[in-house]
């Protein structure tokens, strides 16, 4: 029996081999579109923009598939890196516009997650993913509100250290310290819940 990671690698090989490349891409889409779309919605906070971003993410996968290096990391990590960056790029373009979509209040961002959850999802795979997402959020709940703010503003809003310091009126060194504590505590909390960051 092959693992999901091995199956991803095989699908990527089919995408690069050319014969049934579009069918292989469609399979990758079917496997991961819900996760990608969830992250797009989380960052962009608007359904139409999130759908556009979802499409853009898989076009980038298509265009860059031949340069994906399985030796550098698993496909999902690569895909989620593309997803985050596609959305953060879009978010930064939006900030230049006067009517940018306002994200939810950062202090309340992780309870905002709950509002996105569809607890009664009829699709078993999505229900399973969301159970795991709830576990990761439980790990996040072990962080202080300040540590969660750093994660929210950096990872999900694309702000840099200086922008975070300015926005929250913190010294820049404090941003460093809280980011370090946030990731260390998150790793510990994931471990205590029996989760390994590499497997997520």
Partner 1 sequence: MSTEHVSDLLPLYALGALEPDEAGRVEAHLPVCAACRAEAAEFVAVAGSLAAAVPARQPRPAVRDALLRRIGQLGPRPMRRSAPPLPRTPVAPPPQSAKRRRARTWPAINWPMAAILAGLLGLLAWNINLTNRLNSLQQQVRAQSAAVALISSPLTLSMPLQGQGPAATASGRAYVDPDSRSIVLIVQNLEPLDEDHVYQAWVITDDGPKSAGTVNVTRSGWGMSWLSVPYPEQGQIGVSVEPAGGSEWPTEVVLLEAQDG
Residue from 1, 2, 3, 69 that binds partner 1 (CB under 8 A)?
A: 69
Q: Which is nearer to partner 1, 98 or 130 (CB)?
A: 130
Between CA 173 and CA 41 the distance in angstroms is: 31
CB 130 within 8 A of CB 162: no
Q: What string marks each residue from 133 to 172 as x (binds partner 1 by CB under 8 A) or -?
A: x--xx-xx---------xx-xxxx-xxxxx-x--------
Q: Exposed, middle or buried by CB within 10 Å (0-12, 13-18, 19+), for 23?
A: exposed
User: Long-range contacts: 102-110, Cβ < 8 Å, 24+?
Assistant: 102/45, 103/45, 103/157, 104/45, 106/149, 106/152, 106/153, 106/157, 107/145, 107/149, 109/148, 109/152, 109/156, 110/137, 110/140, 110/141, 110/148, 110/152
Is residue 82 involved in binding partner 1 (CB under 8 A)?
yes
Is residue 116 involved in binding partner 1 (CB under 8 A)?
yes
Residue from 5, 27, 62, 168 that binds partner 1 (CB under 8 A)?
A: 62
Is residue 59 involved in binding partner 1 (CB under 8 A)?
yes
Q: What string marks each residue from 9 to 48 as x (binds partner 1 by CB under 8 A) or -?
A: ------xxxx--xx--xx--xx--xxx-xxx-xx------
Written as six digits, the tokens of 17 are 């081999």
Between CA 2 and CA 19 the distance in angstroms is: 22
Is residue 81 involved in binding partner 1 (CB under 8 A)?
yes
Q: How far is the CB of 98 from partner 1 (least distance, A)?
A: 25
Residue from 100, 123, 144, 166 that binds partner 1 (CB under 8 A)?
A: 123
Greatest alpha-carbon pair distance for the chain in Å reads 55
Residue from 14, 130, 143, 149 that binds partner 1 (CB under 8 A)?
A: 130
Which span (90-98, 100-108, 189-197) binds partner 1, by CB under 8 A? 189-197
């Amino acid at each position: 029996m092959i693992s999901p990671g091995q199956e991803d690698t095989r699908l990527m090989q089919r995408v690069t081999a050319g014969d049934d490349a579009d069918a292989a891409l469609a399979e990758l889409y079917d496997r991961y579109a819900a996760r990608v779309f969830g992250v797009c919605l989380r960052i962009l906070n608007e359904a139409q923009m999130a759908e556009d971003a979802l499409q853009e993410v898989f076009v980038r996968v298509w265009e860059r598939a031949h340069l994906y290096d399985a030796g550098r990391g698993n496909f999902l990590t690569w895909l989620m890196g593309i997803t985050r960056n596609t959305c953060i790029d879009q978010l930064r373009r939006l900030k230049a516009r006067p009517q940018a979509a306002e994200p939810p209040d950062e202090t309340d961002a992780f309870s905002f997650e709950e509002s996105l959850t569809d607890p009664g999802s009829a699709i078993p795979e999505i229900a399973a993913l969301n159970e795991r997402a709830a576990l990761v959020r439980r790990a996040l709940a072990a962080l202080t509100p300040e540590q969660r703010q750093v994660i929210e503003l950096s990872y999900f809003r694309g702000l840099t250290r200086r922008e975070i310091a300015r926005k929250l009126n913190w010294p820049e060194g404090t941003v460093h310290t809280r980011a370090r504590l946030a990731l260390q505590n998150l790793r510990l909390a994931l471990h205590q819940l029996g989760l390994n960051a590499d497997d997520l």
